[in-house]
Amino acid sequence: MADKTLLERLSRLGLPLMETSEDFDVNQTLAEVFASRDTRLLEGFPVLHRKCCQGFSI
């Protein structure tokens, strides 16, 4: 399973696995999704990408 901070940031990007309220680096989060090799996270990448394009500065 991915580390807790990655899951928290993913939640803020539209993949709600946990609640979070801290600021984070969007680029770093997307990079960690690929580095994790977790298929569940990779399958959610289109959702993350769209959410980034809609409301987060990259």
Residue 43: the pLDDT is 92
**Would you list the domain boundaries of the chain?**
4-55
Rounded to whole angstroms, the Cα distance separating 45 from 21 reads 21
Confidence grade of residue 17 (pLDDT, cut at 50, 70, 90): low
Instruction: Taking residues 27-54, report their average pLDDT.
Output: 88
Residue 39: the pLDDT is 92
Rounded to whole angstroms, the Cα distance separating 50 from 41 reads 14
Residue 51: the pLDDT is 83
Residue 34: the pLDDT is 87
Three-state DSSP at 14 gives coil
31 compared with 22, residue with greater pLDDT: 31
CB 15 within 8 A of CB 44: yes
Instruction: Taking residues 26-47, report their average pLDDT.
Output: 89
Between the two ends of the chain, the Cα-to-Cα distance in Å is: 25
